[in-house]
Chain A
Amino acid sequence: MTLLQRYLDVGDEGAVSTLVERHQADLLRTAHALLGDASAAQDAVQEGFVRMCRDAADVVGGSGGRTSVGGWLCTVVRNAALDMLRRRRAAPLPDQIRQPTPPQGTAVDDASLLWAAVDRLPDVERAAVMLRFRDGLAYDEIGARLGKTANHIGVILHQAVTRLRNDARLAGMAL
C-alpha cells in the first residue's frame, strides 16, 4: 500500500513498475488458468493494472486503508478473465487459436487428447486443474485466486478429475 500511496502522492511511476514486477507472475498464472491463452491472460493482467492506477485512491482509502493490493488485483484480473470468457462464449474464436500448445516431452497423441479434454471442462474446473496440477498450488491458494473456499476447490477438483478420467477411458488412453 505504501507504493500505491507514493504513486498517488507524487505520481511515482517507479512504484507502479515495482507493483507490476511483484504481482505479474501470479496474476498471469491465474488468468492463464482461466483463459488458457497467453495473450488473453496478458490482456487481463494489463487491464487489472490499468484499473489499479485509475482507482488508486479508492484502493488506498478502501476498508480504512487495510485493502491488500495483491488481493484486489487478483479479484480484478479474475473478473476481467471471466468477462473475456463470457465474450468468447458469445463470439467463439477459431479452434486453431484456442488450441493449447502441446506439452513438450510427451506423446503427442495422449497429450492432445488429455488437454482437449481439459479444455472441455467448465471454466472454474479447468482453472482449478491447471493451478493444481500444472502450478502445484495448494487448495487454499487456488481458492484465494478463484474466489472459493479450500473445501470447495477440493470438490471442484474431484469433479474435474472424474470427468477427465471418463474422457480418457472413452478415448482409449492408456492411463
Chain B
Amino acid sequence: MNDLPPRLAELLQCGPAAPTSLDATHRQAIQIAARQAWFRHRSRRRWTMLTCAAAAVLVAGVAGWTIRSLVEGPVETSTPIVASAPELMAKERSDPAALAPMAKSMPVIADVETNTTRAGEGRLAEQTAQEPAVAMVAKPLEGRAASEAVAGDVPAEPIVAARSERRRQDAQPPAASKATKDAPASPPVMAPAPTAVALAAPAIAAAMSDAAPPSRVEIPTNTPRFGQLLAARATLEAAERGELAPAERNPALRAARDLIAGLTNPPAVELRARLDAALGTR
C-alpha cells in the first residue's frame, strides 16, 4: 500500500462519511420490536412451563397408577361371595378348620337354621345319589362335617348339605313339611325355581372334569322362591275362601308360613304378614 499515489490516497481518505448513529425512526422501530419480542418470549416461556407441568402431572399419575396396580394387584369389583370348587377341595384337604369361617359367612346357608348334621348327611346322601357333580364336591365336605361334629366347636352344617336341604324343601309340597305332617290335604304346588346348587353344579363339574383353571361360579344370594311363594299364597287363599276344614286350617297356614320363613323379598314379607293375620298372631 506504500506505492499508493498520494493524490489517490488523499482522495480515498476523503470518502463519503458513514452515519454514526441511527435516526429516531430506526430507534423507535427497534424499541417496539424489543417490546413485542419480549412479550412473545414471555408467552412462549409460560406455555413451555404449563406444558411441562401438565406432562409432569400426567407422568406422575400414570406412574402412581402403575405402582398401585403392581403393589395391590387388580382391584376387586365384586363381593367375595364366589367359591371355586377345586380351591375349596384343596383347602379342605390341607386345613379343614380354615373352611369353618367361610362356611359361616356364606349367605346361602343363612336362612337354613333347622338342619342338623345327621339330617343334612342323610339328605346329602340322597342328593349325591342323584347328582354325580354334587357328589364330587360333597364327599370331602361330608368328612369335614363328621369331624367338626365330633369336635363340636363349629356348627356342623356342610355347605352342600344345606343346599340339598333347600332343594328338598323346594321340591316338597307344603303339606309334606315337618310342621304339616298331620295335615290331610294341601294346595297344589308349582315346580320350584332352580336353586343355586343346580345352577352352579354344571359349571363346577365342568371345571373339575376338564382340569381347567379354577373357574369362579357366581352363586346368587337372594333367589326368589316363587314355588314356595305360590304354594303359601294358594294355601292362604284356600283358607280365606273357606275351602279348608277348620281342623286343618291353622296347621296348613302355619306350614305355609314356615315355607316362606327364610325369604326376605317384599312379596314374601307381605305374604307372611297376611298369614300372621290369618292365624291371628298379629
Contacts and interface: CB of A to CB of B under 8 A. Distances in A.
Interface of A: 7-8, 11, 13, 16-17, 20, 24-25, 28-29, 31-33, 36, 38, 41-43, 45-46, 49-50, 53-54, 56-57, 100-101, 103-106, 110-111, 114-115, 118, 129-130, 133-136, 157, 161, 164-165, 168, 173-175
B33 interface: yes
B73 interface: no
Contacts of B20: 24-25, 28
8 contacts: A25-B20, A49-B30, A53-B30, A54-B33, A100-B16, A106-B10, A111-B11, A174-B7
Given A56-B41, A165-B8, A45 B18 contact: no
Contact of B8 (A36, A134, A168): A168
Interface stretch (B21-29, B197-205, B214-222): B21-29
Contacts of A157: 1
A118 B22 contact: no
A170 B1 CA distance: 21
Q: State the main secondary structure of chain B at its contact with A.
A: helix
B12 A13 contact: no
Nearest to A17: B31
B18 to A, nearest CB: 4
Interface residues of B, number: 33
B247 interface: no
A118 B16 CA distance: 11
Interface of B: 1, 4-5, 7-23, 26-27, 29-31, 33-35, 37-39, 41-42
Q: Across chains A and B, which 10 residue pairs bring their CB atoms closest together, nearest first?
A: A32-B18, A133-B12, A134-B15, A103-B14, A175-B5, A11-B38, A53-B37, A50-B33, A53-B34, A46-B26
A28 B27 CA distance: 13
Contacts of B26: 42-43, 45-46
B18 A135 contact: yes
A53 B16 contact: no
A55 B14 CA distance: 38
A175 B8 contact: yes
B259 to A, nearest CB: 86
Given A50-B30, A104-B14, A57 B41 contact: yes
B21 A8 contact: no
Contact of B16 (A24, A54, A105, A115): A115
Given A36-B16, A50-B33, A114-B12, 12 more contacts: A8-B38, A16-B34, A17-B27, A28-B20, A32-B16, A42-B19, A46-B26, A100-B16, A106-B10, A118-B15, A134-B13, A134-B16
